[in-house]
Each structure stands twice: as structure tokens, then as C-alpha cells.
Structure 1
Amino acid sequence: MDVLSDVIAAMRIGRPHSARVEHHGPFGRRLPTTVPGAGFHVVLQGKCWLVPPHSAPIPLTAGDVAFLRHGTEVGIADHPSTPMPDTPLPAPASFPIRRNEQPAAIAGNAPGSVAVPTVMLCGAYLLDESRPHPLLQELPQILHLPASQGHRPELRSAIELLNSEVIEPREGADVIVRALLDMLLLYILRTWHDKQASHHKTTGWAAALRDPATASALQAIHADPARQWTVEELAAHAGLSRPALARRFTALLGQPPSSYLTWWRMTIAARLLRESEAPLATVANNVGYTSEFAFANAFKRAHGTAPGRYRRQL
């Protein structure tokens, strides 16, 4: 089981969306922080600035990628001094595939001349932020991947393919765009993890997924979360003794294997309650509980409410 893919699948609560936006002349907008998930901005042409409220503005040029975690307040403008009014995004169901703003004449230039537009590819991922996975939580609020530092070829290819589908949608574009958005998210996360590896980070999820023993234990948990795993069995998968795995797992991820197993089971249970009408006994069995009562107690400890009430509140 691919841990990174599994995490994204477990947190998704809706379809991702994308738009290609052209800005002509001075522009500025402050993005809302109420969208439940994360988003990205890719500069295809021109340049602009990301303007966080409490840190230095970040210049973006053609080829740069900016990934924003949920709740990240930021403005986008042609210059940090440009006013940035709050601009609500359309509802997810009507999120535009393409939006072009009208060109604005350049002051002092010949009549009819227009500014070179800034063209951006933007996207939003709807994720369950009530119980965010620590793999995503350890990302910075703004993840900036400058083109000048070089990107993986597959990241560039995904951007080009997504841009092509957004510009000229054809038959099957709806499914293709969703798949490409998932690809782009995973390539962004891969690039971040590789960057962390190059900095020789010794703790966190990037380090854990590079560590053969810890990665092996994580893969075992994700492949069969309903199994009654013991730390001894996970250690056998990892090729370590029980104490050695417990120490390494806890040092890298901040919690022992048994705690992460329970946390992941409750994350899967929440997804099953959201996405299916399966009886509670079936949900309990799918996450390793033979007793519905024991499952309900574990779920309430994790989510603060009983599983039946959790489902009714959705």
C-alpha cells in the first residue's frame, strides 16, 4: 500500500477543481480562508506576488508553484502595494474551468496597447480538515517551489497537461482534470519530501518514508489496518526488534506504532461513515473491531462524538 496515496484518499471529501486565470494590468485579490482543503497556484506566464499578512511577500515568476495549506491567508497581486479586496470564490459546484479578465490599457503607452498578462493555473482540493493527517500538517503554510531551482520533469508534465485540458476541454475532460489534479498534488508533495531529504532532515514524515524500517511498518498498517497488529509483528516486517522499531518510529513520527494504528483506524472509520451507509458493525469490523461497543468508545475518544451521531451530523 502506497502510504502517501492512501493519506490523500482518506482525507478527500469532494472533487478537486481548477481554473486558468489571466490578469491584465494592475490586479489584486485576497483569497478566502474558508475553503475546506488546500490549493495551489502555478504561474504560466508573467509574474506576481503572494502577499501573506504577517510575513514578507513572495515573488512568483513563470514556472513557480505555490501550494497553500488550509486556512492560509494570502493575497495575490501584481505588486505588494496594490490593494487586495476580499474576493469570494465561486461555490465548488460552479467552480470555473476558465476565467479571463478583460485587458486594461497601460497608462502612458500607445492607444490600444495592453499589458502582458499574468497567466495562472489555480486549483483547490477539498480535504477533511477536522482530522488532518500529520503528513500534511508538517508542510509549511506556503510551500514555494521556484522554477529556478528545478522541478521533477513529471511535475512540469502534469502542469502542461492540466493547462491543456483546462484551456480546451474535450470529451472526458472532467475525469482527466480530476486525475491530473491528484497527480499534481502528489508530485508537489514528492518534490517537498525530496527537498527535505536534500536538507538531511532527521525527523518527520519525509524522513519516516525514507527510512526502510519505519516505512515498512507504515506500509503494513496501511495495507491491512483491520489486522490485530502487535508491535512485535510490525517489527518483524521492519526487520528490527520490538524495542528498536518502537524507538525509531516514535523518534521520527512523535508517536509509537500502536498509537498511529489507532489514529489511522479512526480516520478510515470517519471516511466510511461519510461515504457509505454501511451498518456500524460493518464499519467497526473494517477497522479491526469485533465489538461495536469497543469501536464506538474508541471513535468517541478520537472524534468527540459517537459514530452514529457523527454520521447524522454530516
Structure 2
Amino acid sequence: MDVLSDVIEVMRTGRPWSAHVRWHAPWAQEFATVPGSAGFQVVLQGRCWLLDSGAEPLRLGAGDVLFMPRGHGHTLADSPATPAPVTPCGPDGPLPSEPYASDSVDRSGAQGPVTALLCGTYQLDPDRAHPLLHTLPDRIHLPADEGRHRELRSAVELLAAELDDRRLGMDAVVPALLDTLLLYILRIWFAEQPARGNTTGWAAALNDTCVTTALAAIHRDPAAPWTVAALAAEAGLSRAAFARRFAALVGRPPLGYLTWWRMTTAARLLRASKAPLRSIAVQVGYASEFAFADAFKRMYGTPPGGYRRGT
């Protein structure tokens, strides 16, 4: 897998939630902060305003995409002057409680202009949060732009169509489309950062061929006996130049990232499979189950068996 796909695979947990909702003006809705999650809003029809504490109201139009990597709370409304209801919404709030739903909501009883939204939440495991997630802003706004982001628009249209028309296979199609939507949002954001002058951190790392080649090698085979010299050879750089470049962009030295990724992968395997500890140790590059257990406990503060049991 490539680095971005692998990161999403490891962080994502549980079942995503999504809804296609139509609001009739006047309307306003608060979306609560949901720790351990990432949320999105897509304006499919009409327009609305994003009202966020401490920021100027932001006008959103059809095709605009909002992404909150850390489940940041916010309010959407037909007008900045419309008061939000007391009860915030989310997967357990006043919007549809089904994992995937389509609904028409009219808070006011009026029949004003319609705003259609595609909204949803991804559950993320905080124990496996990748550092690239920490570098993202609380809110990413991808404005509609004719001729750009075509793949993202196609994913949105397909997802909206599935939520509007419940057909056979929906439980398989919708999660795949939600993951596709998440990947497109992140791909676009990271790809656009160099043009905005962001030349450090993960935004730069994912646009640096040498660093991404080394990262891909680590993600492709975390069990390999990697050394700094071997990773430098993959990247096509001298050992010293590679080590400096990798640490500057990724935020930790190559072997430090390797160990972190091995333990993160192990944590996912412990929770997602019943594989014996010996097997997991081998999959992440440890010949000894005891050496693996020691390394895992240093990172998570609990032995692998306790982590698997949630104790």
C-alpha cells in the first residue's frame, strides 16, 4: 500500500456514519465536537454559512467540502443571524441514527430555500493516530472549483446517490465510498500545500520523492531488517543526507519512525485479529516474542496481551 492509504487503514476503526440531509430555511444546526473522530460536510445544493467560534463566518456554496480531521465542533446555518438549536447533532443526535441515511429536516416549519448537505463521521483510534493527522488544521475547506477535484466530485455524487436510493449491496458500497472520499480530501490537501508555501512537515514529506520512497519501503515491509543505510539506498541519497532530510520532514529519525510504525501496525493486528503474539511479532520485524513485548510495552505502557484485552 502507499503511505496515505496505509495510514487511513491503520487509523480507521469501527463503522463510519453518513447522512444526506435537506434543510429548509430558516435553519441552523450545531455539530458537536466528537473526540477520536474526523468529520466532513459537503454542500450538495444551495448555500449556507459556517459559524465557528473565534472565526469570521464563512459562506459555503454547492460543491464546497469541509473536513474536520479531529472532529472539531461547528455550526452550519442558512444565515449568520439564525440561532442554532440547543441540542447539537452527530451520530447520536437529532439527525438520522442509522449508519447511512437520507432524510429531510425542517426545523422551522417553514418552506424556505433548500440546502442539501452530505455529512458524516469517521471513527479513529487515538492509540494509532498517525503524526500526519496532527499537522492538519482543525478545518480544511476545499471550495468548489469547476474543472478541478473531479475525482472528489464523482465520489460525492456516488455517495449521495447511494444514500438516496437504498439498494442491494449498500452496506458494502457506502463504506468503500466513504474511505474513498476521505482519501481524496487528504490527497488534494497535501498535494496543494507546496503551492501555498508549506515546505516543511508531512505536507512536504508526502511531496518529496526521496522521503516517500523510504516511507513506502517501511510501510510495504515493516518486518525487513531496515538500516538507515538501506533506507537511504532506497531513497537514492547518501546516508547522512537522507537521515537529515527524513528527520527534518517527518519529525523523527528513520529508525525511530520504523519502530513507531511497527508498534502501530502491531496494535492494529492485536485488536483486529486473533493471531498469536508470536505471529504478530514476526510480522513487525521481531524474531523474539519477548523483545516484541518489551518494545510494545515501552510505547503503549501495557503488554501486548493486556492491550488486546483492553486492560
Assess same fold via TM > 0.5.
yes
Distance (Å, rounded) in 1 between the aligned partners of 2:130 and 2:259: 13
Q: Give the superposition deviation at 1:231.
A: 0.5
Report the equivalent of 1:145: 142
Q: How does 1:101-140 map to 2 (within 5 A)?
A: 101-102=105-106, 104=108, 114-140=111-137
- Which has the larger displacement, 138-147 or 277-286? 277-286
Q: Give the superposition deviation at 1:14.
A: 1.5
The amino acid that maps onto 2:240 is P
Report the equivalent of 1:13: 13
The amino acid that maps onto 2:300 is H
The amino acid that maps onto 1:262 is T
The amino acid that maps onto 1:80 is P
The amino acid that maps onto 1:268 is T
Query: Aligned with 1:248: secondary structure?
Result: helix
Report the equivalent of 1:222: 219
Q: How does 1:4-83 map to 2 (within 5 A)?
A: 4-34=4-34, 36-83=36-83
The amino acid that maps onto 1:245 is F
1:177 is the counterpart of 2:174: yes
The amino acid that maps onto 2:201 is G
Report the equivalent of 2:231: 234
Report the equivalent of 1:86: 87
Structure 1 residues not aligned, in runs of 5+: 107-113
Q: Give the superposition deviation at 1:252.
A: 1.0
The amino acid that maps onto 1:301 is R
Name the count of aligned residue pairs: 307
Q: Give the superposition deviation at 1:165.
A: 1.0
Q: Give the superposition deviation at 1:167.
A: 0.8
1:193 is the counterpart of 2:190: yes
Query: Aligned with 1:210: secondary structure?
Result: coil
1:260 is the counterpart of 2:263: no
Alpha carbons 2:48, 2:115 under 8 Å: kept: yes
Distance (Å, rounded) in 2 between the aligned partners of 1:301 and 1:57: 45
Distance (Å, rounded) in 1 between the aligned partners of 2:75 and 2:168: 35
- Which has the larger displacement, 302-311 or 90-99? 90-99
Q: Give the superposition deviation at 1:302.
A: 1.3
Aligned CA distance change for structure 1 residues 15 and 93 (closer, same or farther; 3 Å): farther
Alpha carbons 2:193, 2:199 under 8 Å: kept: no
Q: How does 1:194-209 map to 2 (within 5 A)?
A: 194-209=191-206
Alpha carbons 2:191, 2:207 under 8 Å: kept: no
Distance (Å, rounded) in 2 between the aligned partners of 1:277 and 1:234: 32
1:100 is the counterpart of 2:97: no
The amino acid that maps onto 2:52 is P
Q: Deviations over 1:65-106 (max 9, x none)?
A: 000122412112222333222324344983341121148565
- Which has the larger displacement, 279-288 or 230-239? 279-288
Q: Deviations over 1:190-214 (max 9, x none)?
A: 1101210222422122211221211
Alpha carbons 1:151, 1:191 under 8 Å: kept: no
Distance (Å, rounded) in 1 between the aligned partners of 2:183 and 2:77: 27
The amino acid that maps onto 2:34 is T
1:300 is the counterpart of 2:297: yes
Alpha carbons 1:53, 1:73 under 8 Å: kept: no
The amino acid that maps onto 1:117 is V
Distance (Å, rounded) in 2 between the aligned partners of 1:233 and 1:172: 45
Alpha carbons 1:217, 1:238 under 8 Å: kept: yes
Query: Aligned with 2:40: secondary structure?
Result: strand
Q: Give the superposition deviation at 1:149.
A: 7.6
Report the equivalent of 2:243: 246
Aligned CA distance change for structure 1 residues 283 and 11 (closer, same or farther; 3 Å): same
Distance (Å, rounded) in 1 between the aligned partners of 2:145 and 2:268: 39
Structure 2 residues not aligned, in runs of 5+: none
Distance (Å, rounded) in 1 between the aligned partners of 2:154 and 2:90: 27
Query: Aligned with 2:14: secondary structure?
Result: coil
Distance (Å, rounded) in 1 between the aligned partners of 2:101 and 2:124: 20
The amino acid that maps onto 2:44 is L
Report the equivalent of 1:109: none
* Identity between Structure 1 and Structure 2 (%): 54
